């Protein structure tokens, strides 16, 4: 749904919004599809948030006894 909303926000022609039974946009323009895919991804998970999540996850996996485990402490210490 975010993908279709992105087409509207980007003011793409409505003719590119039709879907086939296979689920792909019919009469699609590759450039417009790429734009809609990029914007819909940003709407769902902004790239800054995704980067922070990945960084925090990697730090937790590489150093499990640091910040992540401390923040999960029941007394907040």
Q: Point out which residues bind Zn ion (CB under 5 A).
A: 25, 33, 36
Q: Look up residue 11 and give its two tokens.
A: 């003011």
Question: Is the CB of residue 16 less than 8 Å from the CB of residue 27?
Answer: yes
Nearer to Zn ion, 10 or 49 (CB): 10
**Which residue is closest to Zn ion by CB?**
25
Give me the least distance between CB of 15 and Zn ion, in Å please: 11
Q: Which is nearer to Zn ion, 19 or 52 (CB)?
A: 19
Distance CA 53, CA 71 (A): 15
Sign of the Cα pseudo-torsion (11, 15, 16, 21, in order): positive
Nearer to Zn ion, 33 or 42 (CB): 33
For residue 46, give the 3-state DSSP assignment. Answer: coil
> Shortest Cβ distance from residue 33 to Zn ion (Å)?
5
* Least distance CB 50 / Zn ion (angstroms): 21
């Amino acid at each position: 749904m975010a993908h279709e909303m992105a087409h509207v926000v980007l003011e793409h022609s409505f003719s590119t919004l039709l879907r086939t039974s296979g689920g792909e946009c019919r009469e699609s323009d590759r450039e417009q599809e790429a734009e809609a895919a990029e914007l819909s991804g940003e709407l769902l998970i902004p790239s800054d948030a995704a980067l922070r999540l990945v960084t925090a996850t990697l730090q937790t996996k590489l150093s499990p006894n640091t910040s992540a485990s401390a923040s999960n402490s029941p007394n907040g210490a």
